[in-house]
């Protein structure tokens, strides 16, 4: 029953998207606005098949190429610096449709798959870097959790791992965690629930969870590099890509102390300014989490703006320059140009 409803919703959404695209709804709805696109990963179909990657975290390379061609012909594509200058000078064309392309996290596939497309089309973009991860083999903790659980599911004895997972989660989350254990082995979607729970935990508890799972499941995290290195960053910087801060450690700002927030803001900015790259003073909150105090800290540290993950577009005068709205783009809801344009219009409200 659930799958039938899901298919019906998908078919309805697709029909609406084609109708809206046919009448060029995006051209009218986005006039005088700027759509700040939020991407994470750009992957080949083969890479998706062999990796533990959440649906809301990627677009296929072929889909990305189509989207960028559409953006190029439909919008005035700005660098983030140009957008800031337009707001500063007030030289905003109310008849234009503006677009800024951004990527969070600095994934290696941004360099391998996205950058060649952007360079070929002559499009600027901004990548927000968590500076502690650049030129390292370190994985983000959600991807380590997803990898461990995916490995457990694929193992022949996968069902035998249920008790081990239940035991680990019981210690950390109580009865609710224990009940999630069986789902994690049988249903890949349960991994997203565990990751959401962990976002509320201190970093040391997350690391304890990962270490315990690795021991119990007998699985280790691969050591291949998944984030760009500084040589790749400098190459992209010379090819029209600018870089902003995504903190140092990628910790969620609302889970750490104000002094730690200041340290993340200041140190990441210093690293980027000294790297000899096209740096733009815009901060990207890890996981999109911020509050009024954190936004004030970002401003006090000299950032000119900051981006959130809240869905929406901005206009001549942004509602809050330190919580700029963006349009999250991922494959499951924007795999065709009609669906992509409908998403830009704000008529596909799903953010994950």
Of 25, 67, 17, 20, nearest to 42 by C-alpha is: 67
* pLDDT score of 321 more than 60: yes
Q: What is the pLDDT of residue 352?
A: 37
pLDDT category of residue 118 using cuts at 50, 70 and 90:
very high
8 A C-beta contact, residue 326 and residue 310: yes
Residue 104: what pLDDT? 98
**Architecture of the domain defined by 34-137+227-329:** Alpha-Beta Barrel (3.20)
| CA–CA dist 211, 116 (Å, integer) | 37
SS3 category, 128: strand
pLDDT value at 351 more than 70: no
Residue 158's pLDDT is 52
Better pLDDT: 203 or 178: 203
Characterise 218 by phi-psi region: left (phi > 0), alpha (psi -120 to 50), beta (else). left
Query: From residue 5, how far is each of 12, 17, 88, 123 by CA, in Å?
Result: 10, 18, 48, 39
Q: Tell me what pLDDT residue 185 has.
A: 67
What are the pLDDT digits (tens) for 27-75? 668 999 999 999 999 999 999 998 889 889 999 999 999 999 999 999 9
Please report which confidence band the pLDDT of residue 297 belongs to, taking 50, 70 and 90 as the band edges: very high
Nearest residue to 101 (alpha-carbon basis) of 129, 73, 134, 67:
67
182, exposed or middle or buried, with CB in 10 Å at 0-12, 13-18, 19+? middle
Cα gap 133→248, rounded to integer Å = 8
Q: What is the per-residue pLDDT across 200-246, written as a single tens digit (0 to 9) for each?
A: 888 999 999 999 888 888 888 888 999 999 999 999 999 999 999 99
Mean of the per-residue pLDDT values of the chain:
89
How is the chain split into domains, by residue range? 34-137+227-329, 141-217
Q: State how far the Cα of 52 lies from the Cα of 35, in Å rounded to an integer.
A: 29
Write down the pLDDT at residue 12: 65
pLDDT of residue 173: 79
**CA-wise closest residue to 34 among 86, 105, 89:** 86
β partners of residue 126: 102, 242
Q: How confident is the model at residue 120 (pLDDT cuts 50, 70, 90)?
A: very high
Q: Say if residues 149 and 290 touch (Cβ distance below 8 Å).
A: no
Residue 4 has pLDDT above 60, yes or no: no
Q: pTM for this one?
A: 0.92
Reported as type and span, the H/E element at residue 17 is: helix 2-22
Q: What letter would DSSP give residue 174? A: T
Whether pLDDT at 17 is above 70: no
Longest dimension (CA), the chain: 64
> Over 50: is that where the pLDDT of 140 sits?
yes
């Amino acid at each position: 029953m659930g799958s039938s409803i899901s298919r019906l919703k998908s078919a309805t959404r697709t029909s609406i998207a084609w109708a809206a695209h046919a009448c060029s709804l995006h051209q009218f709805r986005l006039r005088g606005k700027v759509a700040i696109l939020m991407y994470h990963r750009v992957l080949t179909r083969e890479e998706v098949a062999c990796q533990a990657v959440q649906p809301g975290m990627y677009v296929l390379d072929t889909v990305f190429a189509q989207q960028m061609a559409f953006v190029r012909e439909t919008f005035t594509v700005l660098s983030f610096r140009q957008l800031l200058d337009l707001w500063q000078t007030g030289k905003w064309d109310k008849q234009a449709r503006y677009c800024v392309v951004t990527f969070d996290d600095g994934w290696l596939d941004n360099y391998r798959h996205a950058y060649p497309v952007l360079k070929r089309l002559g499009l600027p973009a901004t990548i927000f870097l968590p500076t502690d991860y650049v030129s390292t083999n370190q994985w983000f903790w959600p991807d380590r959790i997803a990898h461990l659980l995916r490995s457990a599911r694929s193992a022949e004895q996968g069902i035998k791992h249920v008790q081990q997972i239940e035991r680990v989660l019981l210690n950390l989350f109580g009865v609710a965690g224990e009940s999630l254990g069986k789902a994690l082995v049988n249903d890949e979607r349960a991994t997203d629930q565990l990751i959401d729970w962990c976002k509320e935990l201190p970093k040391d508890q997350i690391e304890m969870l990962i270490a315990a799972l690795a021991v119990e499941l007998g699985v280790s995290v691969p050591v291949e590099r998944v984030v760009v290195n500084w040589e790749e960053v400098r190459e992209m910087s010379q090819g029209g890509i600018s870089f902003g801060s995504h903190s140092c450690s990628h910790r969620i700002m609302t889970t750490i102390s104000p002094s730690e927030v200041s340290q993340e803001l200041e140190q990441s900015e210093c690293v980027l300014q000294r790297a000899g790259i096209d740096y733009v003073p815009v901060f990207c909150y890890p996981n999109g989490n911020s509050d009024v105090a954190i936004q004030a800290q970002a401003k006090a540290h000299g950032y000119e703006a900051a981006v959130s993950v809240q869905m929406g577009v901005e206009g001549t005068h942004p509602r809050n320059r330190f919580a700029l709205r963006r349009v999250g783009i991922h494959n499951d809801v924007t795999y065709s140009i009609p669906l992509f344009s409908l998403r830009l219009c704000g008529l596909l409200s799903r953010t994950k």
